[in-house]
Amino acid sequence: MNLRAFLAVPVAMTVMVSSAYPVLASQSGAIDTVQSATRVFDGVMSNPKSEIPIGILRRAQAIAIFPNVVKAGFIVGGSRGRGILAMRGAKGGWSNPVFLTITSGSVGFQIGAASSDIVLVFMNKRSVETALTNDFTLGGSVSVAAGPVGKDAVSPNDAQSTTDIFSYTRNQGLFAGVSLEGSKTAVDRDRNGDFYGQSRITVQQIVTNPDLPTPPAAAEFKRVLARYIPPR
């Protein structure tokens, strides 16, 4: 090998590594979101004082979890975060997660809290379809209400409740139902592409394609959901 060819090898390798790095970095961020969401749900459900009532989870059509939603401003401000949504299948199993973003005002944030975890429990298919096909505002065409908390909490049944989504936040160690009316969610297409390694992947493919490989972080998330949520 002549000197020019020898020197070209590390240059080519540098170009390859440099071009690959942004993809790897963004994929790592998506994996971290899934792992954080898994820890949030496991932590909430493993504590009898904070767990979401089984009566609600048994009827849930989907679960969305937004870990570490960052607050901006003091008392009056806004927040933005990323999270995931898993949809319950016809046989009771859970789909691969779809990535979402959420933006909201200061509702649900304690003074001084830097961030909060947000959990949304979707009670019917219409609310799930709206979340996965549109950028939508909670409390608009889709109703949202503070959900009951605790193993012994009385949960509304089908006859009593017309709520589409029950919402919860956790900050500074406190997990409570809180109204997130006015918050907006949207499908995070870039992060979906990063996580599944397919830039043009669609929401429909993620939640319905049985041949779509399940990344390890997503498999663990689905296992945790199945551990706490009984089949209907």
What pTM, to 2 d.p., does this model score?
Answer: 0.82
* Residue whose C-alpha is closest to residue 85's, from 105, 108, 107, 102: 102
Identify the three-state secondary structure at position 169.
strand
Per-residue pLDDT of the chain (232 residues; tens, 9 = 90+): 443 443 344 434 333 333 333 445 668 899 999 999 999 999 999 988 889 999 899 999 999 999 988 765 544 456 788 999 999 987 889 999 999 999 876 544 444 556 789 999 999 999 999 999 878 888 888 899 999 998 766 656 544 568 899 999 888 778 888 888 888 999 999 999 999 999 999 999 999 998 999 999 999 999 999 999 987 6
Paired with 109 in beta bridges are none
